[in-house]
């Protein structure tokens, strides 16, 4: 049995209608009218909530386990932007967003300052593709729209886009660590995480992940998002120390996970018991 959804803006009947799960509704026009009326009232209520609702209650609302950031922020803003595009008076969404952010700080956080710049530019696909290819060549940041257009273009080099996505979405140790946890085959077949490691760095040297391989060996995993030679050298040295601290090379493996291809780091790894896993050689765009 499908669990009943919590009461919100939509009724169960309206949700079913929007999902095309109730084709037997006899008066869809009435259903749409009621949704429109309630949405107008809800928009007025949102203004009151902004002005009067405590930070504590708002924080507990958006940090609930069942509420993903996508639905808490992205889709809500997307709906408002869509409504602004369709508004008869051609509502200036950039100004509305700018004013909304500024008012938040002025009204609720007057001891802080914020500088807001918002620009929304509509372009034809050919123009977006041209700009995206230029950015890709010069290693500049690509927006999600530019990335999508590149992936849909049959002449774009998939490897270049793949490398860009990797560097963009694996830019922090936390992102790399999370990726390894979700895709343990990066370390090797049979690898299983048994300790996720510290959530924050301390003076004590600890691996980012501790696991066990198919042969029962302890595997210490260190991630390094920066990938430059000095940072990797420091990580290798730290893992060599940890291998000995956990029982020595006969019982413990050390694996360093980073972005760059292994061939660029061969000299650093020569003669070291530390193994290297290059995400650039294993990462799949579908995993982003």
Tell me what pLDDT residue 142 has.
76
Q: What is the pLDDT, as a whole number, of residue 220?
A: 94
pTM, to two decimals: 0.48
User: What CA–CA distance (Å, rounded) separates 110 from 211?
Assistant: 48
Question: Tokens 């010069």 correspond to what residue?
Answer: 138
pLDDT tens, position by position, 231-246: 778 888 889 999 998 9
Confidence class of residue 77 from pLDDT cuts 50, 70 and 90?
confident
Q: pLDDT tier at 1 (50, 70, 90 boundaries)?
A: very low
* CA 27/CA 145 separation, integer angstroms: 38
The pLDDT tens digits of the residues spanning 122-132 come to 678 888 888 88
- Tokens matching residue 203: 């003076």
Task: Choose among 259, 254, 255: nearest CA to 278.
Answer: 259
More confident residue, 55 or 281: 55
Q: Mean pLDDT throughout 256-264?
A: 72
| Domain locations along the chain | 12-108, 125-169, 173-287
Fold of the 173-287 domain: Trna Endonuclease; Chain: A, domain 1 (3.40.1350)
- Please state, for a pLDDT cut of 90, what percent of the chain lies above it: 14
Partners of 254 in beta bridges: 220, 274
pLDDT at residue 2 in the model = 40
pLDDT tens digit sequence for 15-54: 888 888 866 788 889 999 999 999 999 999 998 998 899 9
Average pLDDT score over residue span 52-69:
82
Give the pairing of strands 192-195 and 209-212. antiparallel
Please give the order of strands across the beta sheet that includes 218-224: 192-195, 209-212, 218-224, 252-258, 274-278
Whole-number mean pLDDT of the chain? Answer: 80
Quick one: pLDDT at residue 89? 67
Q: What pLDDT, on the 0 to 100 scale, is given for residue 81?
A: 87
The band of 93, judged by pLDDT with boundaries at 50, 70 and 90, is confident
**Tens of pLDDT, residues 147-178:** 778 878 888 776 677 667 766 666 677 878 88
Q: Is the pLDDT of residue 71 over 80?
A: no
pLDDT surpasses 70 at 226:
no
Could you tell me whether strands 252-258 and 274-278 are parallel, antiparallel, or unpaired per DSSP bridges?
parallel
């Amino acid at each position: 049995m499908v669990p009943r959804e919590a009461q919100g803006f939509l009724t169960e009947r309206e949700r079913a209608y929007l999902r095309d799960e109730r084709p037997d509704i006899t008066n869809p026009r009435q259903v749409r009218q009621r949704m429109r009326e309630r949405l107008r009232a809800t928009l007025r209520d949102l203004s009151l909530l902004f002005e009067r609702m405590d930070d504590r209650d708002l924080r507990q609302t958006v940090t609930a386990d069942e509420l993903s950031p996508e639905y808490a922020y992205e889709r809500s803003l997307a709906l408002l932007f869509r409504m602004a595009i369709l508004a008869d008076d051609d509502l200036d969404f950039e100004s509305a967003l700018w004013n909304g952010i500024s008012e938040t700080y002025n009204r609720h956080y007057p001891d802080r300052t914020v500088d807001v710049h918002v620009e929304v530019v509509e372009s034809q696909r050919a123009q977006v593709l041209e700009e995206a290819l230029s950015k890709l060549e010069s290693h500049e940041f690509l927006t999600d729209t530019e990335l999508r257009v590149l992936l849909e273009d049959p002449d774009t080099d998939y490897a270049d886009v793949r490398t860009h996505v990797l560097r963009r979405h694996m830019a922090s140790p936390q992102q790399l660590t999370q990726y390894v946890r979700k895709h343990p085959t990066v370390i090797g077949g049979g690898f299983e995480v048994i300790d996720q490691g510290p959530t924050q760095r301390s003076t004590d040297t600890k691996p980012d992940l501790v696991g066990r391989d198919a042969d029962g060996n302890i595997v210490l995993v260190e991630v390094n998002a920066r990938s430059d030679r000095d940072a990797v050298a420091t990580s290798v040295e730290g893992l060599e120390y940890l291998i000995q601290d956990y029982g020595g090379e006969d019982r413990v493996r050390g694996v360093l996970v980073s972005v760059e291809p292994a061939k660029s780091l061969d000299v650093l790894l020569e003669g070291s018991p530390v193994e290297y896993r290059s995400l650039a050689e294993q990462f799949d765009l579908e995993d982003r």
